[in-house]
């Protein structure tokens, strides 16, 4: 378990395995740090030049520490001359990842204000996380202690530490859930994990089994889950402090494995489909953290968990199912299953008339085509809420981009047989998925749909504070939104 210290002590005298600094080349090589004396910065820069450090973006260099520094070695990470919070978050994460299993790491990066201090702490903690690995060989140990240098007042340091540790703990919980093999994280196992995670907290957990899902008219969840030997579960999380100012409903897609059902995916596309429950993981992590922090906001989480398999009882293209809000849906593609479980959960969430509903899902490959694999989409019936989500994400290093819900695409969801069909136009698939979900949200409730298909799982390899595999994306944004609602 990595511990965090935020200190105003002399960095050069701080014993540590590694000292992390920023480096930039503007004519000559410069060390980007406000915590090191000029002579020490000059000595480190001189040693870096000997190993052909050029300060180019993305670069990272490790050298023995100069004699005037108590640390054993120095890791220099390419850093802009005047870095912003997000750049510092990535630099800190990359540096700590490179430090491997060092017992202690001290970070001497610029922290001129609370936002940059928080970013360095978050990035360092995120970079220290060791991804889940199922192996007979022991995993590489995490960094023991992180020491972030700053001149910030003690009260600021205390608040930053509390929030950073809480937010990163949420992200790492979501990461570990996403990385679980689907053979062990079935819908039933997800429910058990939720109960274990929230045991002793201020939040309670209620689980709807397959029989209750039928009784409650959750046709989408029943239909998606009926092809699997592992039955579906709806997991309801409730945190309701007496001083709550607003009620926030969070809905997470929890497809623990997505084969595509009878509309079977190609083998290569199935390899990472354990990540199709990343939305539910983010919601569980966020509710856990919100309860731990004691934020004054009523939060209800709905984790719509099912396994989409092509068993003998699987739903067929052409089937018509009746949803929680009694709308009927013609299922034309069983691989468009996420919107079906989410629709039921959204309809249920709307019945309690919360102030805001936010759903989180790895919903469409179209999201990645539009925005790549590091920026998520936000669609909303309230432009101000979309802007709020975008700002909350930016503040914690999770970028979102607002996308439209065009009226012109609604006609493509009409079915000659039922109220709706589960797929629309081939083009604009991310948008038609959002329009489908909107049909299950009461029109008088502010709602935002977060499609995190790209950022939820990193196949490209580690970068910045992001590991390979599950990223925990959206968990920190949800916590930040709850903070803002509670103010």
Q: Which residues are catalytic?
A: 265, 339
Which residues, at least 6 apart from 79, have a Cβ–Cβ distance to it below 8 Å? 22, 23, 24, 32, 87, 88, 91, 109
Tokens 């390419």 -> residue: 78
Is the distance from CB of 323 to CB of 269 less than 8 angstroms? no
What gap in Å lies between CA 67 and CA 44, rounded to an integer? 10
Query: Rounded to an integer, what distance in angstroms lies between the CA atom of residue 157 and that of residue 278?
Result: 31
Neighbours of 98 (CB within 10 A): 19
Residues sharing a CB contact under 8 Å with residue 162, sequence separation 6 or more, in sequence order: 293
Whether the CB-CB separation of 448 and 364 falls below 8 Å is answered with no
Hey, what are 376's tokens?
Answer: 């998520």
Q: How far apart are CA 56 and CA 275, in angstroms?
A: 34
What pairs with residue 23 in β-bridges? Answer: 31, 78
- Please say whether the beta carbons of 62 and 81 come within 8 A: no
List the one residue out of 188, 180, 173, 261 whose CA is nearest residue 230.
188
Of the candidates 72, 154, 65, 160, the residue with the CA atom closest to the CA atom of residue 119: 160
Spatial neighbors of 155 by CB under 8 A, at least 6 apart, are none
Distance CA 415, CA 85 (A): 48
Q: Of 218, 228, 197, 362, which Cα lies nearest the Cα of 306? A: 228
Determine the Cα–Cα distance for residues 147 and 227; give it in Å rounded to an integer.
51
If 0-12 CB within 10 Å is exposed, 13-18 middle and 19+ buried, where does residue 173 land? buried
CA separation for the pair 109, 132 (Å, rounded): 29
Could you tell me which residues come within 8 angstroms of residue 154 by beta carbon, excluding any fewer than 6 positions away? Answer: none
Tokens of residue 84, six digits: 């912003």
């Amino acid at each position: 378990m990595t511990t965090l210290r935020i200190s105003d002590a002399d960095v050069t005298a701080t014993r540590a395995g590694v000292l992390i600094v920023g480096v930039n080349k503007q004519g000559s090589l410069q060390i980007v740090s406000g915590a090191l004396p000029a002579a020490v910065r000059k000595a480190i820069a001189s040693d870096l030049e000997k190993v052909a450090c050029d300060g180019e973006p993305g670069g990272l260099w490790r050298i023995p520490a100069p004699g005037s520094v108590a640390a054993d070695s120095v890791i220099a990470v390419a850093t802009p001359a005047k870095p912003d919070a997000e750049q510092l978050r990535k630099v800190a994460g990359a540096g700590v990842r490179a430090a491997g299993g060092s017992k202690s790491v001290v970070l001497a990066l610029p922290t001129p204000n609370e936002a940059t201090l928080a970013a360095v702490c978050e990035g360092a903690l995120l970079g220290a996380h060791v991804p889940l690995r199922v192996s007979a060989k022991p995993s590489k140990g995490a960094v023991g202690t992180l020491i972030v240098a700053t001149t910030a007042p003690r009260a600021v340091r205390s608040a930053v530490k509390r929030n950073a540790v809480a937010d990163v703990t949420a992200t790492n919980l979501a990461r570990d859930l996403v990385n679980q093999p689907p053979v062990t994280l079935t819908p039933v196992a997800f429910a058990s994990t939720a109960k274990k995670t929230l045991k002793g907290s201020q939040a309670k957990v209620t689980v709807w089994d397959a029989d209750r899902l039928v009784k409650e008219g959750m046709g989408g969840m029943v239909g998606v889950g009926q092809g699997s030997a592992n039955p579906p579960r709806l997991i309801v999380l409730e945190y309701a402090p007496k001083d709550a100012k607003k009620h926030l409903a969070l809905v997470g897609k929890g497809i623990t494995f997505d084969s595509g059902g009878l509309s079977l995916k190609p083998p290569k596309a199935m390899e990472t489909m354990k990540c199709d429950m990343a939305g539910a993981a983010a919601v569980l992590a966020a509710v856990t953290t919100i309860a731990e922090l004691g934020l004054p906001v009523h939060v209800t989480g709905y984790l719509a968990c099912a396994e989409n398999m092509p068993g003998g009882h699987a739903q067929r293209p052409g089937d018509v199912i009746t949803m929680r809000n009694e709308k009927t849906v013609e299922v034309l593609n069983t691989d468009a299953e996420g919107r079906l479980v989410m629709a039921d959960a959204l309809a249920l969430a709307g019945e309690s008339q919360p102030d805001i509903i936010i759903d989180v899902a790895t919903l469409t490959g179209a999201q990645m085509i539009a925005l790549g694999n590091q920026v998520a989409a936000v669609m909303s019936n309230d432009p101000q809420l979309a802007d709020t989500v975008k700002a909350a994400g930016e503040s914690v290093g999770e970028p979102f981009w607002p996308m439209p819900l065009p009226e012109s695409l609604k006609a493509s969801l009409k079915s000659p047989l039922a109220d709706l069909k589960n797929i629309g136009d081939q083009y604009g698939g991310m948008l038609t998925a959002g329009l489908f979900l909107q049909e299950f949200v009461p029109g008088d409730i502010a709602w935002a749909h977060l499609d995190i298909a790209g950022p939820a799982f990193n196949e490209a390899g580690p970068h910045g504070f992001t590991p390979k595999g599950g990223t925990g994306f959206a968990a920190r944004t949800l916590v930040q939104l709850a903070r803002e609602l509670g103010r």
